[in-house]
Structure 1
Amino acid sequence: MIARAFLFIFGALLVLCTLCIFLLILLPLASASLSSVYALFPNKPSPQYTAFLTATGTIVAAISVVAAILTFWFSTRAARHAQRKQHTITVLLETRLSSEFQGTIEKRRAYFPEYTDVAFDDWNAARNTMTPPGASMDVIAEHKVRRDSALALTTLLNYYEFLAVGITEGDLDEEMLKKTLRSIMCNLVDDSRHLIAGMQKINPNTYEHLTALYGQWRKQNARDINGSPNERPIPRLR
């Protein structure tokens, strides 16, 4: 909106300046006699007259070039903004309507439910659970749930890391994502903050974009639906 208003005002000023210049030239021609018209265009114009015409032409040309550049820049920016919003809407719709994504959420809840802190050691043990030979079907099923839940948790973290990268690169609209996913993403990172800290102790670049975005989006002194502290900072382990 601001860009369009600025472009409109600049265009109006350009038209006004151009009209004023032409009026300054044409009004004497309209009111003067034929002889005075010839006098305006002598065979050998004075240096001042020549300089005036040259300066006037240069100013008009410069203003026209600047207006063309600004028009192209604002048009390109508006098209880029519209494309980014459309891409963001597509990503959100595909996620919400994806049965696979919803299944990933359910698998995560099976062993690592929301509003429960996930320790790195617990997650690591769950994903590396080995089923002993000759185990019963119940034990096999239980171990599978633990492994799937650990994998699902990191799948969700990877998804939000992907969104954070998209925002950083300018491919996704941050304002739209913040309005729709802020609380969901912050809840997930709050639950996983010890897990992320453990991963970053091994590799500092793990979820670096998600960590930065969480730092920008999280609210101070936030509370979850149970009244417990929420959106806490990710600890730094040494």
Structure 2
Amino acid sequence: MNIDDILILRTTFLLAPYIIISYVFYKFIRDDFFMKPRTNVQLNYSMCCLVISFIWIVLWNISLHKFSFLGFTINHGQSSAGQTILILLGILGAVYGWLFTTKSQYINSRKNHSIQTLMSSRLSTSYVEKFDLLNEILLEQKHVPLSYETFENLSPEQKMAVMYALNYYEYVAVGIRFGDLDEHLIKNTLLSNILGTYTFLENVINYKSQNAPTCLEHLKALRVRWKGDKKFKIFNF
């Protein structure tokens, strides 16, 4: 085996853990439901790569210091391996702590925003009036899904209440898909409301979507995701 082959093998061995962790995140944690990468998942990926880097540096310093990687070598000089490891551990702890704090702040901020969104809607007079009208329609129909013909025969106030409810849940779905609202908090709070409303108004939603495919597209995606619990990913980093 010549020197070039040894360098290639050594570099492959060095990069293998990063490739594996990238594959795991891409294959099992990445979620196409979300419209942009989730910040907490990106921070988790960074922390995993940081831990791998620390482990490699420790092994390099203890057992592999005679070898060079990517053109870099370790020169111990007067410093001992133990002192070098302590310095690296301190750097790792500082960076890891900063990432963990950033992640915690992001999660708390998202949850607070989700709670404020739920509370503000409950305190809204317009919200209460529109959903009271929707409940009246639901009782009149005896929980039978509303047909589009029946929807057309509703009063203007009742039609406005129906569209208000759909637009509100579409807003919630957009917030979840873009990472602005906490999915688990919203799911545990509004699951039955959103799925029940969608089932009752499914004919209206389908009719509206015929001429405008993007109409209520986020609500439809959320309904598909939540209706099949087996498809609902429980990764909550």
TM above 0.5: yes
Equivalent residue number for residue 7 of structure 2: none
Give SS of 1:170's match.
Answer: coil
Structure 2 alignment gaps of length 5 or more: 1-43, 63-74, 230-237
Query: Quick one: distance in 2 between partners of 1:53 and 1:115?
Result: 80
Query: Quick one: distance in 1 between partners of 2:211 and 2:87?
Result: 61
- Matched length: 161
Equivalent residue number for residue 103 of structure 2: 77
Question: Of 145, 151, 164, which residue of structure 1 is paired with 2:160?
Answer: 151
**For the aligned residues, what is the CA RMSD?**
3.3
Which digits, 9 at most, give the CA deviation of each residue in 1:186-208, with x for residues without a partner? 11000011111111111111111
State the percentage of identical aligned residues.
26
Structure 1 alignment gaps of length 5 or more: 22-49, 127-145, 221-238
The one-letter amino acid paired with 2:120 is: E
Alignment of 1:1-238 (within 5 A): 51=76, 53=78, 56=81, 59-111=85-137, 113=139, 115-126=143-154, 146-218=155-227
Q: 1:62 to 1:123 in 2, by over 3 A?
A: same
Query: Quick one: distance in 2 between partners of 1:205 and 1:55?
Result: 63
Alpha-carbon distance, 1:59 to partner: 4.5
Give SS of 2:214's match.
Answer: coil
Larger Rg: 1
Using the size of structure 2 for normalisation, the TM-score is 0.58
Give SS of 1:115's match.
Answer: coil
The one-letter amino acid paired with 1:206 is: C
Query: Quick one: distance in 2 between partners of 1:64 and 1:219?
Result: 45
- Which structure has more RCO (C-alpha within 8 Å, separation ≥ 6)? 2
Using the size of structure 1 for normalisation, the TM-score is 0.58
Q: 1:195 to 1:60 in 2, by over 3 A?
A: same
